[in-house]
Amino acid sequence: MVIKVVGLGGIGTCLLQILDKFLEYAVSSREAIKVFLIDGDEYSAKNSARQFFERLGNKARVCAESYNERSRRVIYEGIAEYITSNNMYEFIREGDVVFLCVDNHATRKLVSDRAGELADVVVISGGNELTDGNIQIFIRKDSLDITLPLTSKFHPEISDPQDLHPEDMGCEEAVEESPQIIITNNAVASAMLNAFYAHLQNVLNYDEAYIDILTNNMRQVVRR
């Protein structure tokens, strides 16, 4: 199994803590499990309010180093790059399970469009505002869309993104503009992992799910 985690910020580092334990102990596979961590951003001291990391440096490399030290079965590789239209062919490939934990719709569109060119791929994307968020699941199997792409008509904010790609604006700027809390990041990460588990059990049949931490409600939606 090849897993890509794109974005190692608030959602990504919450998700990785549980994913690592799950892959290490709960997944029955004789093959080694490889997890690629992809992020061009750097950890800074202010990130420690919401993100789990052991030292400053490139997010993907720092996390890969930390998890390789403690994992026996899972092999982590850190890629210190943002996903762009130039490198997406290299990083999003046939058979991947992609956890998309980024902070901009421009990258969500890039990854969804790239996944749409592949025959078999799973993209589980999460995003949040202050106290709510959602996940979207795009599954392609045998060259067919099993669930809707992230860029479906229901989400024009992704199909026609108005925000900037991180190469044009650092995460620091985005965080300064709009505050976040780790509890919402964790709720979204948890919903993404629920979807991953349902996929492994072959029972994943919804296109997206919404989470609200104030009402403690969660709602899954089938839009096809």
* Interface residue with other proteins, options 5, 92, 101, 204 (CB under 8 A): 101
**Which of 77/163 has CB closer to other proteins?**
163
Least CB distance from residue 224 to other proteins, whole Å?
A: 9
**Which of 202/215 has CB closer to other proteins?**
215
Alpha-carbon gap, residue 196 to 1, rounded angstroms: 13
**Residue 218 interacting with other proteins (CB under 8 A):** yes
Helix residue spans in the chain (DSSP H): 10-25, 59-70, 88-91, 105-115, 156-159, 171-177, 182-200
Among left, alpha and beta (phi > 0; psi -120 to 50; other), residue 183 is: alpha
Residue 131 exposed, middle or buried by CB count within 10 Å (0-12, 13-18, 19+): middle
Q: Write the binding mask 149 to 178 for other proteins: x where contact by CB under 8 A, - elsewhere.
A: -x--xxx-xx----x----------xx--x
Tokens of 194: 């629920």
* β-sheet bridge partners, residue 139: 122
CA-closest candidate to residue 111, choices 179, 159, 74? 159
Least CB distance from residue 215 to other proteins, whole Å?
A: 6
**Which of 24/113 has CB closer to other proteins?**
113
**Residue 180 interacting with other proteins (CB under 8 A):** yes
Could you say which residues in the range 2-31 bind other proteins, by CB under 8 A?
7, 9-12
Among left, alpha and beta (phi > 0; psi -120 to 50; other), residue 181 is: beta
**Which of 120/163 has CB closer to other proteins?**
163
User: Which residues are near other proteins by CB under 8 A?
Assistant: 7, 9-12, 101-105, 108, 125-129, 132-134, 136, 150, 153-155, 157-158, 163, 174-175, 178, 180, 185, 188, 210-212, 214-215, 217-219, 223
